[in-house]
Amino acid sequence: SVRCKDFSLCYWNPYWMLPSDVCGMNCFWEAAFRYSLKVQPAQRMHLAVVACGERLEETITMLKSAIIFSIRPLQFHIFAEDQLHDSFKGILDSWSFLQTFNYSLYPITFPSENAAEWKKLFKPCASQRLFLPLILKEVDSLLYVDTDILFLRPVDDIWSLLKKFNSTQIAAMAPEHEEPRIGWYNRFARHPYYGKTGVNSGVMLMNMTRMRRKYFKNDMTAVRLRWGDILMPLLKKYKLNITWGDQDLLNIIFFHNPESLFVFPCQWNYRPDHCIYGSNCQEAEEEGIFILHGNRGVYHDDKQPAFRAIYEALRNCSFKDDNIRSLLKPLELELQKTVHTYCGKIYKIFIKQLTKSIQDRYDRPPKE
């Protein structure tokens, strides 16, 4: 018993070099105890979405795609109209057996003195995203996505882009267009916009701690303004000139503060614009689509059947490993039926990364 009391030597000595008066068995247990202290739970990735109207199914399918492929645990922040809360809760609670995510439900809220103006901007609750840094005050970093987003590779991979931000960058988005000849901002915008063709805010990665701290240059006053102070003056100045609501306001902000934006490639926000008149996202041609963005309702009509095929495959997929592995062959058959469209002609880029994600996550033995 005397030999087993002194554990301090165990820290510095392998068990075969222990002094004769130290208990080797206790060193074994102490090492295991020390290891358990060092192993910290994986940091959660925070993902936010805003859902109104008929967007329940779309949002649930997006969340499912995030869960299926991601490795680290997820924290969902779901901002939804009150009548959708019970439906979200019922579905997400039924997924609790997965133990890979937590979620929080929030009402749609705007600053009380200007709530009516923000609700009228573009779509009923789209501008909610502008206030996420002010509402989620305890969240350091966040990935915001529209409801019509589908993850075709782990959220972990876009989350890792936060480490690539330089000291001045606070957010990341993809360009609105790759091809200026079909660009909207460079042809029609009546307000400042970022870069040559603007940026699309459907996928927006944010370091919200930096966003809350930063003072932004602007064209309303010589004084730099913080995030919470710049939004309403911008709306008042440009509300008659903006078409795409909150996305236009973000373009104006980053036009005046270009050093604050990290621009990621189009494969992280792949939309019908990237193939509707012919392929114009080179990165997706090489590596496949990482995040699919079915804007303009293409998951629910026949205008872009390749997009709809991906959506329906993931919507109907369960969380069973065999079900996930087996979705590729019938999906490819469906995509082959879409080759009469420009997007369908390049259908292989729709499943290239999806195939790799399924193989990496479900066809290989897990790493220790």
In the numeric block, which tokens belong to residue 323?
A: 């079900």
Task: Quote the mean pLDDT of the chain.
Answer: 87
pLDDT-derived band at 364 (thresholds 50, 70, 90) equals: low
pLDDT at position 32 is 52
pLDDT tens column, 248-300: 999 999 999 999 999 999 999 999 999 998 899 999 999 999 999 999 899 99
pLDDT at 245 over 60: yes
Residue positions counted in the chain: 368
Is the CB of residue 80 less than 8 Å from the CB of residue 108?
A: yes
pLDDT at 21 over 80: no
Q: How far apart are CA 128 and CA 106, in angstroms?
A: 11
Question: In the CATH hierarchy, which top-level class contains the domain 45-264?
Answer: alpha beta
Helices (H), the chain: 24-38, 56-69, 85-94, 115-120, 132-135, 155-159, 185-188, 208-213, 227-238, 246-256, 282-287, 305-315, 321-325, 328-336, 342-345, 348-358
Domain limits, the chain: 45-264, 273-363
Residue 368: pLDDT band (50, 70, 90) is very low
Lowest mean pLDDT across 63-72, 108-117, 147-156: 108-117
Q: What digits encode the pLDDT tens for the residues 123-165? A: 668 789 999 999 999 999 999 999 999 999 999 999 999 999 9
Cβ–Cβ < 8 Å for 145, 202:
yes
**Quick one: pLDDT at residue 6?**
45
Check pLDDT > 60 for residue 66: yes
Question: Which pLDDT value is given to residue 11?
Answer: 44
Q: Which pLDDT value is given to residue 126?
A: 75
